Structure 1
Amino acid sequence: MFKAHQSNKAAAINPLKMSQPLGGALALLGIDNCLPCFHGSQGCTAFGLVLMVRHFREAIPLQTTAMDQVQTILGGYENLEAAVLTMYERNTPEIIGVCTTGLTETKGEDMQGALATFRKKHPEIAAKCNLVFINTPDFTGGLEDGFANTVTAVIESLVSPAEMKVSGRVNVLAGSHLTPGDVEEIRDLVEGFGLSPVILPDLSTSMGGRQPDDFKATTLGGVTVSEIKGMGAAVLTLAIGEHMRKPAQVLERKTGVPFKLFDRLVGLEAVDHLVRTLAEVSGRPVPPRIRRQREHLVDGMLDGHFYFTRKRVAVALEPDLLYAYCGFLRDMGCEVTAAVAPTQSPALERIKAWSLLVGDHEDFETLSRGADLVISNSHARQSVERLGTPLVRAGFPTFDRLGAGHRVTVGYRGTRELLFELGNIFLANDHAHAAHDAGSTPRGMEDHHAGPHAAA
C-alpha cells in the first residue's frame, strides 16, 4: 500500500487546494430553484464567485451574509437572519443553503443552533422554504469535503423513508470531480437500461449551459426538492467517488436504500462494473448501443497502447479525480511519476505512483521534472511553461479553455475520448523527437563527416 506524505512547508505556494465552502456552493448549484449563501465576509464570496464564473462561464447565484470584523466577534446571527429574510422575500427560492467560511468558523458558529433559532422566530418562512445550514470551514479539508458535507446535510434535512419502493428508480450521488458533461453521460447510461435516475446534485441541467427567456436570481435547473424528498423510494443508490460514501451511508441509514460505491468511472474495467450493476438492477441485457461503445473503446485501446507504454506522467488533482486519472494511466501502461493531492483522502491509499504527496503546485513542479505529460488544473500553466512539458487541463478550476463543463471522461465514450486526447499528445511528442533526432548530427561523428582535410 502506498502512503501519501504531507508537505511540511510553512506555507502553500501556488496552492492546489480549493476550499470547503466552494465545494458546498458547487453542490448547491445542482439543486433547482436554490440560493447558495456564504456566511462570511463579502470577500470570501467574491473570491469563490469569480472562480466559478471563470470555470463554468455561467451566471452563478451566490449570496453572502456580509460579515465585518465587529459582527464576527460579537456574533453573526443577525446578519445570517437578515440575509435569509432578504433572499426569501426578493426571490422566493425553494431551498436556501448557507455554508460557513473560515471567518465565522474561527469564532465557532453553531449553524444548527442558528437554524433552530430562525425556524422558531420565522415559522412562516421555514414552512415554505427548505433551509439547510452547513459547517464548511475553509481552514481544514477541501473542495471534496465541503461538497460531501453539503450533500449529506441536504439528505439529512429533506429525505425521509418511503412507504413503498418505486421499481426502476435509482439514486445517483454524483461527486464533485464529475463535470456537468460527465453527469449527463452517467444519466444516459442509467436511462439506457430503462431505469429512472434521481441525481444529487445534478449539475448537468444547471451548469451545462442554458439561456432562459427571463432572468432568474436562483439556480436554473438541477434536481428538484420534490425529487430529493423522494430518494427514499429508490431501489439502489449509486455513489460515484469515495467522498460520496458518507452521504450514501446517511441515506441508507435514513431510508434503508442500499448503495454501491464506484471509486472511478474512467477505464474499461471500471465502466464494466457499472454496466453490470445496471443490468442486474434493471433485469435487462446490455443495450446494443452501449455494447458498441465498449467495442469502440477496446479498439481505441488496442490502437493507442503503443504510445502510452512507459510514458511518464505527473498528475495533481482533487483526490477522487486523481485516483481516476492515475488508475486509467496505469491501465494503459504509463508510469505515474508524481501524484499530488491537496488534501488527505482514503482514495489516496489506492494510488500507485513513484511519489505520492499532499501538497501544492510548487511541490508538483519539483516532482514533475522529466515527465512526458502533466495533468492538472489551470493553475499549473506557469509550472509547465518552465518545465516545457505538455499540460492537459482537468478538474477545477479550468478557466483558460472553453468547454470545461462539457468535457466528458467517464463511461466508455468518455474514456475513449480521454484516451485519444492523451495518446495524440504522446504521438505528437514522439514524432517531434524523431524529427529532431533525424535533423541533428549524431554525437561523436562530427570529425567523420568533416573529412580528413577538415583541419586544413
Structure 2
Amino acid sequence: MAEVIKIRKPLSISPLKTGQVLGATIAALGLADSMALMHAAQGCSSFAKAFFVRHFQEPVALQSTAMDPISTIMGSDGNVKKALDHLAKNSALHLVVVMSNGLSEAQGADLKRAIREFRVEYPQHEKLTVLTVNTPDFYGSLENGYAAVIDAVVNQLVEEKRSAQTRKKRINVLLGHSFTAGDVEAVQRLFEAFGLKPTLLPDISESLDGHLGEQDYSAVSLGGTGLSDIQRMGESIATVALGYSCHSGAKLLAQKTGVPSYYFDHLGNIEQCDRLIELLIELTGRQVPDYINRQRRQLQDAMLDCHNELNGVRIALAGEPELLGYWLAIARQVGLDEQVVVAPAQQSQLIEMPTEQILLGDFSDLREQLKVTPAEVLIANSHGQMLAQELGMSHILSGFPIFDYFGGFRQHRQLYAGIRDTLFELGNIVHQRHEHRDIYHSPLKQHWPEAASQRA
C-alpha cells in the first residue's frame, strides 16, 4: 500500500502531466479508418499535433473544430456540425471521434446534442459513425483520456446483449496506453499462437507502428480495430484487459454483453505473464508454444545475468500510473530501489502500488526530492532529460512523449521478451555508469605497416 501525497502549490513549473485529449487521440487512432476531431481552437490541435509528430515521426489524423472568440462566447455547436460535414466528404472515413478539451468544456459545449442536430441537418451523412468523448484538460491526465475513449467505444458502439452465437475462437483484448505498437504486435502473436482470433482494442500495431503506406498521405488512420469487429465483441468467449487504463472499459463490456472479463494490471513481471499463459491454456486447452517457453527461459537467464548489476540501484520514476505500475514490478523483480515516485494526477490504483510513497506533482517536485534522496537512474519521458543531465543521472525513456530517441514509440517492453530486453537495457546503462570499458586490443593483432616492410 502506497501513501499518496499531493504537492500543493499555485503553479506547475516543469509539467509532468499530459492532457486527457492526447490520451484520447492515441486511443482514437487505434480504430480503423478513423479521425480524431478536437472540439477546440485551432492552436490546441496544432500544439497536440506537434507532440504526436515528434513522438511517432509520422503525420497524425487529428483535426479541430476551430473555435474562435465569437463561437466560444456565443456557442460552438455550429463548428462541430460544419467540421463533421467537411470530414464526411472523405469517402475513406468511417469513424470520427469527437473530443472536448478545456476550452469547450469550460464553454459548456454539449457534444451529444450537437451530434443529434448534425444527424437532422445532414441526413446524407447517416453512414458516418460519430463517437463523443468528454476529455477536459483541467481534470486527470493522458490515462483518463485514453480510458474515456475505450469506455465510449463500449457504451456507444458495442451491441447491447451477448449474442446467442458465441464465436469460440474470438477473444476481446483491451490494451492499456502503456502498450506500444511493438507490445501490441507481441500480444497479438501470443493469442494467435493459441489458436485464437483476438479483437484488439485499440489496435495501434498497424496505425502507429511507423510504416510506409501505399499512398503518399492518408487523412484517416492506417489500420486499427474495425467497426464491425467492435460491434460483435459480445460474441467472444472472453475479454482480457491488459493495463489499468482499460479495466473500466472491460467492466462495462462485461455488464453490457455478459462476456466474462479477466484483468491484468501490466505484463511487467514473470508472475503476471505466467498468469496470462495459464488463462490461455484454460480457455483453449492447448499446450504452450515452444517460442513462449524459450522466451521465458531467456527472461530467467536475463534476470540472473543482470541481478548483480541491478540489485540495490537507486531509481526515480515519473509517469502515468499505469507505467509506474509496470516499472515498480520490474523493480521488485530485480531488486531496484525506487527513491522517488511521481505521478501527474490522482488515480484509484496508486494506493495499491508496491511502494511506500507516491507524490502527485511535476518534474520540479521530483528535482527537490532527488536533492534529498538522490538516485542513479531516472525513468521518465523526454521532458526528464534536462533534469537527468542537471543531476548527473542516467535516463531511460518511457512514456509519452519521446522525441529524442528513434523507435521509442514501438519499443517492446511487455511479456517475457519485452521484460528481458528491458532488463538488458537497465543493466547496460548501469554498467556504463559504474564501470567504463576500455577498447579491447587483441594481443594477436598484426601491425600492418611493419608486416608489409618485412615482406619487402
The match for 1:8 is 8
Q: In structure 1, what is the Cα distance between the partners aligned to 2:196 and 2:329?
A: 28
CA distance in 1, matches of 2:366, 2:69: 36
Corresponding residue for residue 348 of structure 1: 350
Corresponding residue number in structure 2 for 1:175: 176
What is the match of residue 57 of structure 2? 57
CA contact (8 A) 2:81 2:115 kept: no
State which drifts further: 117-126 or 280-289: 117-126
**Deviation string for 1:218-237 (max 9, x for gaps)?**
11111111111111111111
Q: Secondary structure at the match of 1:4?
A: strand
Query: Post-superposition shift, 1:163?
Result: 2.9
**AA in 1 matched with 2:355:** A
AA at the equivalent of 1:165: T
TM-score of the two chains, using structure 1 as the length reference = 0.92
Name the counterpart of 2:320: 318
In structure 2, C-alpha distance between the alignment counterparts of 1:425 and 1:35, rounded to whole Å: 39
Q: Give the counterpart letter for 2:144 in structure 1.
A: D
SS of equivalent to 1:90 = coil
Looking at structure 2, the residues matched to 423 and 291 of structure 1 have their Cα atoms a distance apart, in angstroms, of 23
Cα distance in 2, alignment partners of residues 300 and 374 from structure 1:
21
Query: What CA distance in whole angstroms lies between the structure 1 residues aligned with 2:307 and 2:63?
Result: 48
Corresponding residue for residue 138 of structure 2? 139
Displacement of 1:107? 1.4
AA in 2 matched with 1:265: L
- Provide the C-alpha distance between the structure 2 equivalents of 1:405 and 1:185, rounded to a whole number of angstroms: 15
Task: Answer whether contact 2:381 2:401 (CA < 8 A) is retained.
Answer: yes
Contact 1:172 1:199 (8 Å CA) reproduced:
yes
Gaps in structure 1 of 5+ consecutive residues: 436-456
- SS of match in other structure, 1:261: strand
Query: Following the alignment from structure 2 to structure 1, what is the Cα–Cα distance between the partners of residues 364 and 91?
Result: 43
Among 392, 406, 411, which residue is 2:415 paired with? 411
Structure 2 equivalent of residue 383 of structure 1: 387
**Structure 2 residue identity aligned to 1:382:** M
> Residue type matched to 2:148 in 1?
N
User: In structure 1, what is the equivalent of residue 270 of structure 2?
Assistant: 268
The answer for the alignment partner of 1:34 in structure 2 is 34
Q: CA deviation at 1:366?
A: 2.1
Query: Which of 345-354 and 1-10 deviates more?
Result: 345-354
Alignment of 1:355-374 (within 5 A): 355-369=357-371, 370-374=374-378
Quick check: 2:378–2:396 contact (8 Å CA) kept in 1? yes
The answer for the alignment partner of 1:101 in structure 2 is 101
Residue identity opposite 1:404 in structure 2 = G
In 2, the alpha carbon distance for the partners of 1:6 and 1:353 equals 16
Report the more deviating stretch, 91-100 or 72-81.
Answer: 91-100
**Conservation of the 8 A alpha-carbon contact between 2:363 and 2:384:** yes
For residue 91 of structure 1, report the CA deviation from its aligned partner. Answer: 4.6
1:335 aligns to what? 337
Asked if residue 421 in structure 1 is aligned to residue 425 in structure 2, the reply is yes
* Mapped contact 1:30–1:201 kept (Cα < 8 A): yes
Q: TM-score, normalised by structure 2?
A: 0.92
1:350, distance to aligned residue in structure 2 (A): 2.4
Structure 1 range deviating more: 368-377 or 50-59:
368-377
Structure 1 residue 210: deviation in Å?
Answer: 2.2
For residues 371 and 325 of structure 1, the distance between their equivalents in structure 2, rounded to whole angstroms, comes to 15
Question: Does the 8 Å CA contact 1:156/1:250 hold for their aligned counterparts?
Answer: yes
Preserved contact between residue 394 and residue 433 of structure 2 (Cα < 8 Å): no
Aligned counterpart, 1:450:
none
- 1:61-210 matches, within 5 Å, as 61-126=61-126, 128-160=127-159, 161=161, 162-210=163-211
Counterpart CA distance in 2 for 1:303 and 1:97 is 46
Of residues 226, 232, 252 in structure 2, which corresponds to 1:250?
Answer: 252
Asked if structure 2 preserves the Cα contact closer than 8 Å seen for 1:337 and 1:353, the reply is no
Q: Distance in 2 between matches of 1:43 and 1:71?
A: 15
Q: Equivalents in 2 of 1:148, 1:34: separation in Å?
A: 17
For residue 89 of structure 2, give the secondary structure of its aligned residue in structure 1.
Answer: helix
Q: Which amino acid aligns with 2:143?
A: E
Q: Secondary structure at the match of 1:290?
A: helix
Segment drifting more, 98-107 vs 161-170 = 161-170
Q: Which amino acid aligns with 1:425?
A: I
Q: Offset of 1:77 from its aligned partner?
A: 0.5
The equivalent residue for 2:444 is none
Q: What is the DSSP-based 3-state SS (H/G/I as helix, E as strand, rest coil) of the residue aligned with 1:83?
A: helix
Q: Which amino acid aligns with 1:18?
A: T
Deviations along 1:27-77, whole A, 9 cap, x unmatched?
110011101110010011011111011000011011110001110111100
Indicate conservation of the 8 Å contact 1:97/1:131, yes or no: yes
Q: In the alignment, residue 381 of structure 1 is paired with which amino acid?
A: Q
Q: Do the aligned partners of 2:100 and 2:135 also contact (CA within 8 Å) in 1?
A: yes
C-alpha contact 2:85 2:122 (8 A) present in aligned 1: no
**Which one-letter code corresponds to 1:141 in the other structure?**
G
Quote how far apart the aligned CAs of 1:368 are. Answer: 2.9
Which stretch shows the higher mean deviation, 327-336 or 47-56? 327-336
Match of 1:454 in 2: none
- Determine the C-alpha separation between the residues in 2 that align with 1:305 and 1:388: 23
- Whole-Å Cα distance in 2 between the matches of residues 97 and 169 of structure 1? 26
**Shift of the alpha carbon at 1:211?**
1.4
Q: Deviations over 1:2-39 (max 9, x none)?
A: 12111101111111111111111111100111011100
**In 1, Cα distance between equivalents of 2:50 and 2:355:** 34
Q: Which residue of 1 aligns with 2:212?
A: 211
Deviations 1:115-137 (A, max 9, x none): 222223333313x1111111111
Once the two structures are TM-superposed, the CA of residue 327 in structure 1 deviates from its matched residue by 1.6
Equivalent-residue separation in structure 2 for 1:368 and 1:352 (angstroms): 20
Contact kept, 8 Å, 1:338 with 1:354, in 2: the verdict is: no
The answer (yes or no) to whether the contact 2:317–2:340 under 8 Å persists in 1 is yes
C-alpha distance in structure 2 between counterparts of 1:2 and 1:147, whole Å: 24
- Match of 1:45, SS state, is helix
**What letter corresponds to residue 149 of structure 1 in structure 2?**
A
Q: Which runs of no fewer than 5 residues in structure 2 stay unpaired?
A: 439-456
Can you list the C-alpha shifts for 1:172-230, whole angstroms capped at 9, x where unaligned? 11111111111111111111111110001100111112212223211111111111111
Q: Which has the larger displacement, 113-122 or 319-328?
A: 113-122
Shift of 1:429: 2.2
Q: Which amino acid aligns with 1:157?
A: Q
Question: Offset of 1:346 from its aligned partner?
Answer: 2.2
Letter in 2 for 1:212: G
Supply the distance in 2 between the matched residues of 1:123 and 1:165 (Cα, whole angstroms): 35
Give the Cα separation in 2 of the matches to 1:233 and 1:124: 31
Question: 1:59 and 1:92 mapped to 2: Cα distance?
Answer: 17
Give, in whole Å, the separation in 2 of the partners of 1:367 and 1:178. 29
Q: 1:249 Cα shift?
A: 1.3
Give, in whole Å, the separation in 2 of the partners of 1:257 and 1:88: 34
Q: Does 1:234 align with 2:236?
A: yes
